[in-house]
């Protein structure tokens, strides 16, 4: 497979997963507001901080309000991580590899893009945010379902899954970080009163509440963090996603599952092992935010190693 094609398939799926994840960030806040889990205040700045785009946002918008944050994260074409920018990036990559995907995948990419480009979309997002961001998530799910149902399971399929699950792993950790940030900055009285509601909102935003309830009787920070980071069977947990990346990567290289033939496999195997044997109590005692920052650095390192191994153009020796 051409590295250009593999790169595009990888990024199509990263972009679609990222668009869904950004809608989930916003969804966290709306769940918290509706449940009264933030007292009388609304917190929007943390959503910008967690995406890493706070400097750009401050320069162009100034104060973080509901309207400015939703526009920046959803429709701002100058923000490369906005939902619209991600869907546009996925569509542009899809356009260049039409012969390596299916017509159904291309039609769904177009449909998703046109939904975001609709002139009435900003108004609908402002008036009915829950409905609008649910549509974003469903459009993403539909693309994933079509891909799984129609794309032959060769190298292109595995690169697509690498991108999707690597992005999912990164973003589920960021959803946890949003909530941790919010809780940490609440007054002690508010934190004690609303902690359970806040962690429930995090589970809802990850579509994890029902599966969590089947595993645990009550909601506690330790159990929520353990479920979303280390639960092997839940499809949106970090460890589950990393295991899928590992499987796809080894399917491409042909190496034995528990060995490594390139730096990406070595980095990935090491991180999978760290998660498999992590102590959630120790993580919370030390500092969840610090752990997630380090975790995200490692995810970025794996992404860079995949790019260097498979996508980068190397000049042959003279």
pLDDT of residue 26: 87
| Spatial CB neighbours of 31, under 8 Å, sequence gap ≥ 6 | 37, 200, 201, 204, 205
pLDDT of residue 316: 44
C-alpha angle 237/300/272, rounded to 5°? Answer: 45
Angstrom distance (rounded) from CA 91 to CA 106: 8
Which pTM was predicted?
0.90
Angstrom distance (rounded) from CA 95 to CA 24: 27
pLDDT 10s per residue in the chain (318 long)? Answer: 789 999 999 999 999 999 999 998 888 777 777 666 555 556 788 788 777 788 889 899 988 888 999 999 999 999 999 999 999 999 999 999 999 999 999 999 999 999 999 999 999 998 898 899 999 999 999 999 999 999 999 999 999 999 999 999 999 998 888 777 777 666 666 666 677 888 888 888 888 999 999 999 899 989 999 999 999 999 999 999 999 999 999 999 988 877 788 999 999 999 999 999 999 999 999 989 899 999 999 999 999 999 999 998 654 444
| Domain edges within the chain | 3-311
Q: What is the largest distance, in Å, between two alpha-carbon atoms of the chain?
A: 68
pLDDT of residue 78: 94
3-state percent helix, strand, coil for the chain, nearest multiple of 5: 75, 0, 25
Token look-up 């980068």 returns 312
How far are the Cα atoms of 66, 152, 168, 182, 262 from residue 310, in angstroms, in the given order? 41, 20, 20, 39, 10
Burial classification of residue 315, based on how many CB atoms lie within 10 Å of its CB (0-12 exposed, 13-18 middle, 19 or more buried)? exposed
């Amino acid at each position: 497979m051409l590295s250009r094609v593999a790169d595009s398939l990888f990024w199509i799926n990263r972009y679609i997963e990222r668009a869904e994840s950004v809608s989930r960030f916003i969804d966290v806040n709306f769940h918290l507001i509706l449940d009264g889990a933030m007292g009388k205040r609304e917190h929007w700045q943390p959503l910008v901080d967690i995406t890493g785009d706070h400097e750009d946002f401050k320069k162009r918008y100034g104060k973080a309000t509901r309207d400015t944050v939703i526009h920046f994260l959803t429709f701002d074409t100058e923000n490369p991580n906005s939902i619209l920018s991600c869907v546009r990036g996925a569509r542009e990559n899809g356009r260049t590899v039409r012969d390596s995907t299916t017509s159904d995948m291309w039609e769904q990419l177009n449909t998703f893009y046109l939904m975001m480009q609709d002139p009435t979309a900003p108004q609908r997002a402002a008036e009915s945010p829950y409905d609008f961001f649910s549509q974003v998530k469903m459009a993403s799910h539909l693309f994933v379902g079509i891909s799984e149902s129609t794309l032959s399971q060769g190298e292109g399929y595995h690169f697509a899954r690498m991108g999707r699950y690597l992005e999912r792993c990164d973003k589920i950790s960021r959803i946890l970080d949003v909530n941790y940030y919010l809780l940490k900055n609440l007054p002690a009285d508010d934190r004690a009163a609303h902690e359970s509601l806040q962690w429930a909102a995090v589970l809802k935003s990850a579509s994890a509440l029902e599966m969590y309830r089947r595993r645990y009787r009550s909601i506690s920070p330790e159990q929520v963090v353990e479920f979303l980071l280390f639960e092997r069977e839940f499809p949106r947990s970090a460890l589950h996603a990393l295991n899928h990346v590992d499987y796809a990567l080894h399917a491409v290289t042909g190496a034995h599952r528990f060995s490594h033939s390139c730096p990406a496999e070595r980095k990935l195997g090491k991180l999978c092992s760290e998660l498999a044997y992590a102590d959630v109590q120790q993580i919370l005692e030390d500092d969840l935010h610090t752990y997630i920052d380090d975790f995200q650095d490692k995810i970025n390192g794996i992404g860079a190693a995949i790019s260097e191994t498979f996508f980068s153009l190397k000049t042959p020796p003279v």
